[in-house]
Amino acid sequence: MSDDARFFAFLKSRIGLDVASVGEAIIERAVRQRCTLSKAADHDVYWQLLLGSPEEQQALIEAVIVPETWFFRYPESFGTLGKLAAARLAQLGGVRPLRILSLPCSTGEEPYSIAMALFDAGLQPQQFKVEAVDISPLSIQRARRGIFGRNSFRGSDLGYRERYFSQAEEGYLLDEKVRDRVSFQAGNLLDPTLPVAQSAYDFVFCRNLLIYFDVETQKRGFEALKRMTRDDGVLFIGPAEGSLLGRMGMASIGIAQSFAFRHRAEAPAEPLSAPPATPMTPPLPIEPRPTPTTSLRPKVSVRSFAPVQPVPRPAMPPSPAAGEAATLLDSIRRLGNEGKSAEAKMACEQYLKRYEPVAPVFYWLGLLAEVEGDALGAQGFYRKALYLQPQHPEALAQLAALLSAQGDSAGARRLHERAARGVNKEGRNR
């Protein structure tokens, strides 16, 4: 086993991380960083240190995990929560307060958003309690401080900041009444001894975590989440995870853009396998970014901005909605190829608000992120495209080029080989 493979295997066994979901370069960089900080002479010395030190194991995990969160991310979910919570309290008749879980909670923006949303819905402090869990003690420490910088506040609707925050020297200090409703603890979803794993909650938030796991680990994670969600409770997930949860015996509650699921007792869970090319997931709202003015044709680039073909779908009579979606996809391609970045991005956002997500939209969002100079964001969009359509050729090519530019030649080579396998398979099918 090579030096790097040892660390990949360690992270997979400890936190379920699939190296392909984040790219080898990120893990290799974290290992180099920890080697330097721990004064290890080489990878072999650092490996021995890692095996014998729980503190260093956690430090490596912290170096790999990069929290990316903000208040009221996916705002429709929090509006839905407020309505469901009020109805649930009426059913309970004052017998007990609502129990809500946020996992992973990162630096606290999500669980605090939950508390603020419930206050906005008219709930009183004694009527609910939020428990928040994250694998990172450093993130938990930051969350407990309750002080947040500008990056935690995104979007145009920041009225909650006026209601629940006050100016502080280091940023914005969250109101004590909100902080008092949230309790934090460090833990791992995959740990069967995790205290919250022994409980069942009225509402569970677990978003954009399991897309970083391999199939088997995803199944374990979803089984744990199902156990922690009451039979009459609701689980809020990430936009790209809906198809996986549907195959685990849960069904959408039917509220658009809420990404909320509940137990489906009448249907057995289907076997969890690799994601299909066209999963039935709700649309993903994209947070607004500054609109770029640069043309979509960069001055120096070896990557092609060739038009993207729509994802193949089963032969069905076309519906009006399908025709509108196809028209909007054509508009995205046209605007992108004409260099109208701002308009193309707006069209992508409109598509994801109206229809289920498809790979070409995330592919174009990746291209737009590259134009803005956001290589990491572009990489994330290309991975989402490949999550939805594993053999999307343009996304494979663009992501391979990005990894190559970052020095991850092995990751780029695997993507090229994957693309070649797809081409060969398509030729055989023809």
Q: The CATH number of the domain where 386 resides is what?
A: 1.25.40.10
Q: What pLDDT was estimated at residue 115?
A: 98
Between 336 and 287, residue with greater pLDDT? 336
> Domain for residue 70, yes or no?
no
Name the least confident of 23-32, 40-49, 128-137, 409-418. Answer: 409-418
Residue 236, pLDDT above cutoff 90? yes
Residue 281, pLDDT above cutoff 90? no
- Residue 283 pLDDT grade (very low, low, confident, very high; cuts 50, 70, 90): very low
Q: List, in order, residues 6 or more apart from 37 with CB less than 8 Å away.
A: 59
Name the least confident of 10-24, 242-256, 291-305, 344-358. Answer: 291-305
**Which residues on adjacent β-strands are paired with residue 205?**
102, 236
> Domain for residue 304, yes or no?
no
- Residue 243 pLDDT grade (very low, low, confident, very high; cuts 50, 70, 90): low
**Chain center to CA of 59:** 22
Between 276 and 151, residue with greater pLDDT? 151
CA angle 213, 283, 188 (to 5 degrees): 25
Q: What pLDDT was estimated at residue 429?
A: 53
Give the mean pLDDT of the chain.
80
Closest to 112 in 3D by CA, of 59, 177, 178:
178
Name the least confident of 120-124, 183-187, 397-401. Answer: 397-401
Name the least confident of 182-191, 206-215, 303-312. Answer: 303-312
- Residue 174 pLDDT grade (very low, low, confident, very high; cuts 50, 70, 90): very high
User: Same domain, yes or no, for 224 and 116?
Assistant: yes
Q: Three-class SS string for the chain?
A: CCHHHHHHHHHHHHHCECHHHHCHHHHHHHHHHHHHHCCCCCHHHHHHHHHHCHHHHHHHHHHHCCCCCCCCCCHHHHHHHHHHHHHHHHHHCCCCCEEEEECCCCCCHHHHHHHHHHHHCCCCHHHEEEEEEECCHHHHHHHHHCEECHHHCCCCCCHHHHHHEEEECCEEEECHHHHCCEEEEECCCCCCCCHHHHCCEEEEEECCCHHHECHHHHHHHHHHHHHHEEEEEEEEECHHHHHHHHCCCEEECCCCCCCEEEECCCCCCCCCCCCCCCCCCCCCCCCCCCCCCCCCCCCCCCCCCCCCCCCCCCCCCCCHHHHHHHHHHHHHHHHHHCCCHHHHHHHHHHHHHHCCCCHHHHHHHHHHHHHCCCHHHHHHHHHHHHHHCCCCHHHHHHHHHHHHHCCCHHHHHHHHHHHHHHHHHHHHHC
User: Same domain, yes or no, for 363 and 388?
Assistant: yes
CA distances from 156 to 160, 166, 168, 171, 349 (A): 11, 19, 21, 18, 15
Q: What pLDDT was estimated at residue 21?
A: 67
User: Same domain, yes or no, for 244 and 96?
Assistant: yes
* Mean pLDDT of all residues in 183-203: 88
**Given 64, 86, 109, which residue is the final one in a domain?**
64
User: Same domain, yes or no, for 230 and 349?
Assistant: no
Q: What pLDDT was estimated at residue 121?
A: 96
User: Same domain, yes or no, for 109 and 9?
Assistant: no
Tally of structural domains, the chain: 3
* 319-343 residue pLDDT tens: 566 788 888 988 898 887 666 788 8
> Domain for residue 418, yes or no?
yes
Q: What pLDDT was estimated at residue 268?
A: 44
* Mean pLDDT of all residues in 161-187: 95
The pLDDT > 70 percentage for the chain reads 79
User: Same domain, yes or no, for 356 and 327?
Assistant: yes
* Mean pLDDT of all residues in 279-287: 37
**Given 219, 244, 263, which residue is the final one in a domain?**
263
* Mean pLDDT of all residues in 275-298: 38
Expressed as residue numbers, the domain containing 173 is 75-263
**Given 31, 64, 97, which residue is the final one in a domain?**
64
Q: What pLDDT was estimated at residue 285?
A: 40
Put simply, whether the predicted model's pTM sits higher than 0.85 gets the answer no
Instruction: Give the C-alpha separation, 58 to 138, whole Å.
Output: 10
* 53-68 residue pLDDT tens: 988 888 888 788 766 7
* Helix axes of 393-405 and 359-371: crossing angle, nearest 10 degrees: 30
User: Same domain, yes or no, for 82 and 49?
Assistant: no
* 338-383 residue pLDDT tens: 667 888 899 998 998 888 888 899 998 988 887 777 778 888 888 8
Instruction: Give the C-alpha separation, 425 to 430, whole Å.
Output: 9
Closest to 215 in 3D by CA, of 382, 391, 21:
21
The pLDDT > 90 percentage for the chain reads 30
Between 192 and 301, residue with greater pLDDT? 192
User: Same domain, yes or no, for 198 and 337?
Assistant: no
